[in-house]
Structure 1
């Protein structure tokens, strides 16, 4: 056991080097200074978890391994601090992570995109551990930063972390989708959780010329970060950037299970075949999956490698639990795949059409997409410029 082999200052130096390697550029001095002024380990619990590279998590326990706990606190990786539905005596006993300390390079990237300046009023959505609010407060001052968190326990813990370092942003326990109207308008709204739709309150509470920076999520793909600028006509408009994969804001998390909610005995699907491989649409290409998320709203997928009906099956369903599709690989040939579809939406037809559209458009990357959001939250996604809305582009 024993003390860490590197001092906290040395660990921060190493972290800054790793962040610069990820960003491909130096960390701006103002944010490097904030990282030095705000010790990340002060915002982590005695037990947290990091990905093990095999789909699971590795525990870092301060009591049993203080060196590993401290060293990992200053690596460029997210640290899970809470799991959903976990019993009090087993914080990792839940099914999914529900709170984390974000990856430092992603935190810095979002701050660079936000460009918070002295005199700006900032609203942070998702206090979490309080680390990001601490960086903002160290940069701008306590009176300029408001942060909101829906979880009472996380709110209390974050407040304790901030108090310990004599940092005093306004910390509120409330639903983040509602913003914080008493402090509006804000020059910047920064979300540390992803959204499937931009809450109208965020648009309404942003000052003209101000920005909203939020990670993006769709039923198909949790990826991308959207930066919007509030316009004089009360709309917000901006582009996506190819980074960011965050937990979805709690008010927009659907609770849909394929076996429990969708599949029923007596359902008679229509059957066909396709030449589009299921791996082409759900094989991990982030550009493909981002496009499908924007153009097939509510559609999500799950792989089943153990079905009796096929060697491997791609399930597709929708968040209303009314439609599903199954695309089967027989384990022998990959030129055609069996398709079954049920419900009012022919989900595979929609996905195949969207995939062919993405291909016909030249396989655009995430950075070519943007969105205009009306004051009521109605979104219009577009490609390259607002004059090319996705629903108006050819769908072959």
Structure 2
């Protein structure tokens, strides 16, 4: 049974924090209050680090309702499913595959979506149903369509949404395909990370309409992009801030083990040795990783750590054609490199980093993206779509 007094106090406290952060805007405050987060969180979930229960320790409402309630009204993501539902019990699974997203991110993305009265909205990734209910409160259930690929998650979300008094169109299917029966949409919100914007979603967006999505690169990093559809059918717009989301199920990228690249030969195999002044530490932060990912094609890193604080940065490509290693030793000014294959991956990565560093290290908000749904071309740019980023490799 819901303790209304406790809920009101928790709602006020979280609202105050979110408004101080600039995430929760005054136009979304009535919807926030009308749709309490706790209605969309299962009894068993795994809260993030900022909560007293610890990083990814289970919070069980039936065993410790106070800890559960504290987690719900903390500004953290709440994992609600592991390993596409194959995991059971209170222990952590291998990969989180559904969550009730961090409130700061939820309302920042809703603010970027800029919904207006009467807008038709498509949400890709129903999850626990909180976003769909918030949108239904704001623009009316008849104007909201939400699609979820996981049947069990979709069923649970439907139950929660209907219990809260809303009735949007709820679809089970591939979110990348959208829902053409409800098109065209004025707004599209993707609530899982994508490594490209699905062309079909842009086609289902009305000219002048807005699409907001967490955009991740193969190399790493991620940011929320806000695209506006142009009369010529393309969509373009800026990145509006950092993000870290679970990937849309269809956008997960399988990665081969390093042994596949070495062909059974011990490292360094046929690698060509060189030395670099660019530290592996420099290319490992979220923002430069994102910029590197925008400029490279199919390159991803992996660190092999050692007890003395040193490590080897491995670079691989999705085509299993090339690899590179860079050895990091604390205090060193130069670093040993080996590269092999069709591409010189470290040369590409360090060139992309050097471009970013030599251009005053632009933040997310100075970067943007243009997408052509017909060709599938994604063109990143800085400051204006007239100034595309150089693509290396």
Name the count of aligned residue pairs. Answer: 386
* Residues 328 and 86 of structure 1, relative CA distance in 2, 3 Å threshold: farther
CA RMSD of aligned residues (A): 2.3
Confirm or deny that 1:39 pairs with 2:36: yes
Find the aligned partners of 2:260 and 2:152 in 1 and give their Cα distance.
31
Partner of 2:348: 350
Confirm or deny that 1:179 pairs with 2:178: yes
Partner of 1:77: 76
Contact 1:370 1:381 (8 Å CA) reproduced: yes
Contact 1:3 1:66 (8 Å CA) reproduced: no
Partner of 1:127: 126
Normalised by the length of structure 1, the TM-score is 0.92
For the residue of structure 2 that corresponds to 1:364, the secondary structure is: coil
Confirm or deny that 1:230 pairs with 2:232: no
* Residues 293 and 214 of structure 1, relative CA distance in 2, 3 Å threshold: same
Confirm or deny that 1:299 pairs with 2:299: yes
Partner of 1:272: 274
For the residue of structure 1 that corresponds to 2:71, the secondary structure is: helix
For the residue of structure 2 that corresponds to 1:320, the secondary structure is: coil
Partner of 1:219: 218
Deviation of residue 307 (structure 1)? 8.7
Could you give the per-residue CA deviations for residues 185-241 of structure 1, whole angstroms, max 9, x where no partner exists?
000000111111110011100001000100110112232110000111111111111
Confirm or deny that 1:281 pairs with 2:266: no
Find the aligned partners of 1:380 and 1:191 in 2 and give their Cα distance.
19
Partner of 1:326: 325
Find the aligned partners of 2:163 and 2:253 in 1 and give their Cα distance.
36
Partner of 2:206: 207
* Residues 36 and 85 of structure 1, relative CA distance in 2, 3 Å threshold: closer
Deviation of residue 311 (structure 1)? 3.4
Partner of 1:391: 390
Find the aligned partners of 2:261 and 2:17 in 1 and give their Cα distance.
45
Find the aligned partners of 1:196 and 1:249 in 2 and give their Cα distance.
9
Find the aligned partners of 1:88 and 1:98 in 2 and give their Cα distance.
10
Could you give the per-residue CA deviations for residues 234-277 of structure 1, whole angstroms, max 9, x where no partner exists?
11111111232111111110111434644432241111111110
Partner of 2:164: 165
Unmatched segments (≥5 aa) in structure 2: none
* Residues 320 and 160 of structure 1, relative CA distance in 2, 3 Å threshold: same
Confirm or deny that 1:139 pairs with 2:138: yes
* Residues 116 and 370 of structure 1, relative CA distance in 2, 3 Å threshold: same
Find the aligned partners of 2:182 and 2:224 in 1 and give their Cα distance.
25
Contact 1:85 1:93 (8 Å CA) reproduced: no
Partner of 1:29: 26
Could you give the per-residue CA deviations for residues 11-43 of structure 1, whole angstroms, max 9, x where no partner exists?
1000101112222x7x33331111111121111
Normalised by the length of structure 2, the TM-score is 0.93
Deviation of residue 296 (structure 1)? 1.3
